[in-house]
Chains A and B, each alone.
Chain A
Amino acid sequence: MNDSNALLAVQNVKKYFKGTKGCYVKAVDDVSFSVTKGETLGLVGESGCGKSTLGRTVLNLVNATEGGVIYEGRDILKLPQREMRMLRKKLQMVFQNPYSSLNPRMTVLEAVRAPLDIFGIGTKEERFERSRDILRYVGLDEYQMYRYPHEFSGGQRQRIVIARAIISEPDFVVCDEPVSALDVSVRAQVLNLMQDIQKERGVAYLFISHDLSVVKHISDRIAVMYLGKIVEISPKEALYDRPGHPYTQALLSAIPIPDTDIVRERIILKGDLPSPMDPPAGCRFHTRCRFATEECRMKEPEMRFDESGHGVACHRWKE
């Protein structure tokens, strides 16, 4: 991995939550990756794997237990609160549920203008014009600006949330399952909008989702998470053509394809996700892995990379 042109580098981030009986839930456990300017890094995993926590930790919305996030040469996890607050202009977030991520007591205009108000950008008139322009850009008419969120459909709300996230011209936006709550026929609209924004404004996304087909569509690179760890990270073509980790392989084969001709071998994983309170020793996936050996039970695999930047954390993988 070349960190030289990285926009944002996440280094050995850990986030442990206090669980019951003094146990710790290791939601994110020693994760490193970087995001380059204008790219989309997809982050996939099943529920409970820690992907949402990771997204929030990267933005310092939850306090990391350990590790750092380097942005513009500074570790933002160690910034004083005030400076961190000002930096949020450049690091924004889009949430999963468009129904709960807008304040029901604020009009759409107020909601979208909020970041400008908070950072005191421009004069009152300028802020108004910018908000209006950005709302137009995401496809809302001017007469809709004074309405309240409940008057909009899910797709429209998600457009508003996106407008709010990009109005302060961020470099990096964490998108936490931005289309999961939307109807199938509306998803494509939002995905296309996000791609257009990226093309025109050069913003980088960390796109978190459980849906591999959506992640594949929008991402340049993809990271796969399992029980708080990244088990595979790779440019998307390589990941889909030659998945290295047995978990990625199972995940890919588990997705039903809307086509009747394609017959694939299915890898059906046995059992449930182990509890993140008490993750298995050694490789965390060994309890469900077809290929697990004694080594996997004992020793935790290191992430190894090949020259194309395809990294896999598995003892069996030959680069």
Chain B
Amino acid sequence: MKDNVLLQVSHLRTQFETKEGIIPAVDDISFTVERGQVLGIVGESGSGKSVTSMSILKLIEKYNGRILAGSSVKLEGRELLGLSEAEMCNIRGREIAMIFQDPMTSLNPVFTIERQMVETIVRHKKIGRKAARSAAVEWLAKVGIPEPEKRIREYPHQLSGGMRQRVIIAIALSCDPKLLIADEPTTALDVTIQAQILDLLRKLKDEVNAAIILITHDMGVVADMADHILVMYAGRALEYGTKQQIFKNPRHPYTKGLLASIPRMDRMEERLFSIEGNVPNLLKPVEGCVFRERCGYAREECGGCQPELLSLSDESRVSCLLYEKEAKESAHE
């Protein structure tokens, strides 16, 4: 079981210093990703899901952001946070690749597709330009770009959004990474194109045997793709579980509320459940549980501190005092 762990993130804390104060963008997040598995990280804007992925790659803005001591990110048992910048450069793109949200802006507008693909392959695979180019053409064909020989000579602005996202996927997978982080890979795309891209990711995942961290705000997308799900809110992990458990038996009041507040294609409801209030401002830390102010079950004890992630079973953890008793019982078993 332990050998199967590809990535282990523990007690990750990332902060940004701004003129108004310190923003604890990611506050004590722990999770693991197993080989070949898809972990979905779900959260709204400001939940810290993107910062988590950038922290794993150590790509936090240097001038105002930092990963606090005590955080740990281990890839196959190797601690990444202690690595030098040069060593990290060999990890990025090679071991851990990333797909960004907006295909319109993530390709360099002044370079051809060829240049952007070849430079990555040459950088990591130590092969000549010619070999790299033919590898690049092959990858373009694999991600479903018609006429790859012609397309590779084009500039990003000559491709549609869906095509660009395919190119980005091809770049990400071209060095056979062990882990692929996809940060909102389909948010900027139309539904029919989103379906194409998700379909492509599903197919390629088996082919290259990479694990995926899929970051999204769309519960539908994780239901479609993920094996495990981590629910984040205001920089905290509130719940972790298998996909089935999260959708069938959500435990945290936030997860419950979130699922109930989404209009569903498969149901008719007169009125949506709504979580009152607004997403908290991270500059003004909430006392106690981050969800307390919007929670229907909030009690006095919730004002103390953020509850630990309580293990309810092997694969289910929740950060909520409601489950204290249950957690104790499961620990006894």
Contacts and interface: CB of A to CB of B under 8 A. Distances in A.
A and B touch in the complex (CB under 8 A): yes
A216 to B, nearest CB: 6
Q: Chain B binding site: helix, strand, loop or mixed by DSSP?
A: helix
A213 B271 contact: no
Nearest to B218: A256
B191 A47 contact: no
A216 B191 CA distance: 15
Interface stretch (B119-127, B149-157, B257-265, B307-315): B257-265
Contacts of B163: 272
A255 interface: yes
Nearest to B265: A213
Contacts of A10: none
Contact of A260 (B221, B247, B273): B247
Is the interface on chain A under 10, 10 to 19, 20 to 34, or 35 or more residues? 35 or more
Interface string B242-265: 011001100000000111011111
Contacts of A155: 278
A237 to B, nearest CB: 8
A136 B264 CA distance: 30
A258 B219 contact: yes
Interface stretch (B59-67, B175-183, B193-201): B193-201
B54 interface: no
A183 B191 contact: no
A257 interface: yes
Nearest to A155: B278
A185 B191 contact: no
Which of B160, B199, B264, B276 has most chain A Cβ within 10 Å?
Answer: B264
Interface string A191-213: 11001000000000000001011
B274 A260 contact: no
Interface string A79-122: 00000000000000000000000000000000000000000000
A254 B192 contact: yes
Contact of A184 (B262, B271, B278): B262
A259 interface: yes
A269 B263 contact: no
B265 A269 contact: no
Given A156-B278, A188-B262, A258-B259, 5 more contacts: A46-B193, A184-B44, A184-B261, A218-B263, A259-B247
